[in-house]
Chain A
Amino acid sequence: MLDLDIQLRIDALSLHVQGTVPNTIAALFGPSGCGKTTLLRAIAGLTPCSGRISFNDVVWQDDSQRLPTHKRRIGYVFQQDQLFAHLSVEQNLRYGLDRASAANIAIDLPLNEVVARFDLQPLLNRRAASLSGGESRRANIARAILSQPQLLLLDEPLTGLDAKRKAQIMPYLTEVTSGLGIPTLYVSHLNDEIARLCDYMLVMQRGKLTDQGPTQDVLPRLWREPLETFDTQSIESEAGSLVKATVTGFDKPYSMIQMAVAGQRLQVLGQALPQTPEVRVFLAAKDVAIALHSPKDLSIRNALAAKVVKLTPMTGLANGLVAVDMCIVTPPAKEQGSSELEINEREVNEQEAGAESPQTISAHISKAASQALGLKVGSAVYALIKSARIAALGDEAV
């Protein structure tokens, strides 16, 4: 648990952060220039600040003392690659590891294990300067992990990589976040990354934390109370919802991953079966359509039965749009009649799923469409989502 109560001022940025970050994979989200990197640097002790920082009841900083960076048990992955150019990849990886050993820190993550997890064996003897962008990023993350951190600070580890490289790195990040179980603070300004990797989310605006909570709660809130420093268009394109899904199968001939969301079927385009059965799927609000009846003869593969819980007319550049929040309805029992809405045979956790808080989907539709359909709170609807428009999942290779 990371406890923060810090203030600092650099040029135009005034940072005042109070909050507690649980020991999980937490995203630090906010528009550029809001102080995300500065906060991360302050936590690491790289940028001096006043106030108090403690981690798992160890005080890193308060009024009377300040633990220098090298004594804080952190791993830090910088935005720019920071491998030491004069060392080989192996020497880079050993840099933090050796110092941890020298400081009598128990080595829970030995070199060979991390090298294997990150597929770095073929690169060990290469000079750091000779690596490609993706390889270098991988080595950076591995090096940080090998210093045996108790808290991992990742500053936009996917920035500057093209889509293909991102897809290559993503499985390794998943490895870090879910595989190793090191508490992580992950700076990002991309909903998509956060949705896939982070359980928890902190929202930062103008140097202050403005919202925090589990990702699936915070993410839909984001665009409903738009961040003032975001332009509406980027919010519009980033808005969406996060649903938890259970993978039930993979249709190889159609490259289609079969999933169940609250007992209903969801099909997602993908190239391989995800490694974990529980996945998170990000549904962009602009890609969700609404129908009053279960549709027929439509190319859209997904129709989730839902109930409207909130209608929010949007303003500014998004004027003319309505944000519709729907909660996914858990089917009461198998109904043979509803042929379009087959309930997956393997979905056995209906009771459990029903016991959880209902999952919500958001859609952005035009005001005209909303009125034509006569949408109001409580309307029974179908949320339509094209399989091809659903964000690819983290675990698959591209």
Chain B
Amino acid sequence: MTELSAIWLSAKLAGITTVILLFVATPLAWWLAHSRHRLRPAVEALTALPLVMPPTVLGFYLLILFSPNNALGGFWLSFTGSTLSFSFTGLVLASLVYSLPFMVQPLTAAFSQIGRAPLEAAATLGASPWDAWCSTVLPLARSGYITAAVLTFAHTVGEFGIVLMVGGNLAGETRVISIAIYESVETLNYTEAHLLSAGLLVFSFSVLLCVYYFNRQFTLRLGPLRTP
């Protein structure tokens, strides 16, 4: 069944992207929330870029970057023997870039709101910096993490333009749900398009419903990066 393979691929892509971004975005969001470095606005803007750029533009540049003629693509080819473009690995890399703001922004907002005060209190109580962070900031940022993970996962599942540019349409490798829907419509296979679209709709709604239901403080929005 092509639908099942597309669903599995989308879930795998979104899952891997979310997990990797949790680790990548945490230090970045912490830095954005607390740094007074003069480059901070630039980094902030760069991180938010995928929110406003057409996915095709981003996809185009990534495609160029992934090309074996260029440094990254060339290195990857010589290192692994396969190309980055039109591969699942390439899709993961592209998703990391594309979904970054969806992870970083809620985390930054959460970290700004928490501030440094709990860390300082923990330090005066004898906790080392790492211990202090894990025992105060991490649990205090719980709803920020839930928001960020849900947004990132859902957004990666729904990604289309950039996947088309970077991954193309290879069954079992790069053909995720959104691509499968597009192809079904192109080939006038409306039954399959209906099935996948409705599935995606129900999935998105259920995820949000669960989160809203179990976490009353949860707000799914891309709030301002810094809460006053």
Contact = CB atoms under 8 A, between A and B. Distances in A.
Interface of A: 44-46, 68-70, 74-76, 78, 80, 82, 84-86, 95-96, 99-100, 103, 143-144, 147, 153
B126 interface: yes
Instruction: Report the 10 A-B pairs with minimum CB-CB distance, sorted nearest first.
Output: A96-B125, A76-B124, A99-B126, A69-B123, A82-B121, A86-B139, A70-B123, A147-B125, A70-B126, A95-B125
A143 B124 CA distance: 10
B125 A78 contact: no
B123 A147 contact: no
A96 B127 CA distance: 8
B120 A86 contact: no
A89 to B, nearest CB: 14
Contact of B132 (A70, A76, A78): A70
Interface residues on B, range: 10 to 19
A84 B128 contact: no
A43 B139 CA distance: 29
Contacts of B142: 86
A100 B128 CA distance: 12
A189 to B, nearest CB: 22
Q: B-side binding surface: helix, strand, loop or mixed?
A: helix
A103 B122 CA distance: 15
Contacts of A95: 122, 125, 127, 135
13 contacts: A44-B124, A69-B124, A70-B122, A70-B123, A70-B126, A70-B132, A78-B121, A85-B140, A86-B139, A95-B135, A96-B126, A147-B124, A153-B124
A299 B126 CA distance: 56
Interface of B: 117-118, 120-129, 131-132, 135-136, 139-140, 142
Given A80-B117, A82-B117, A84-B118, A74 B127 contact: no
Contacts of B139: 86
Contacts of A100: 126
Contact of A76 (B121, B129, B131): B121
A153 B125 CA distance: 12
Contacts of A85: 140
Given A85-B140, A86-B139, A99-B127, A78 B122 contact: no
A144 B124 contact: yes
A109 to B, nearest CB: 14
A100 B124 CA distance: 11
With most chain A CB atoms within 10 A of its CB, the pick from B124, B129, B131 is B124
Contacts of A147: 124-126
Contacts of A75: 124-125
B51 to A, nearest CB: 30
Contact of B118 (A68, A82, A153): A82
Nearest to A86: B139
Given A70-B132, A96-B126, A144-B125, 4 more contacts: A68-B128, A69-B120, A70-B123, A70-B124
A274 B32 CA distance: 54
A84 B121 contact: yes
Given A85-B140, A86-B140, A103 B120 contact: no
B118 A70 contact: no
B67 to A, nearest CB: 47
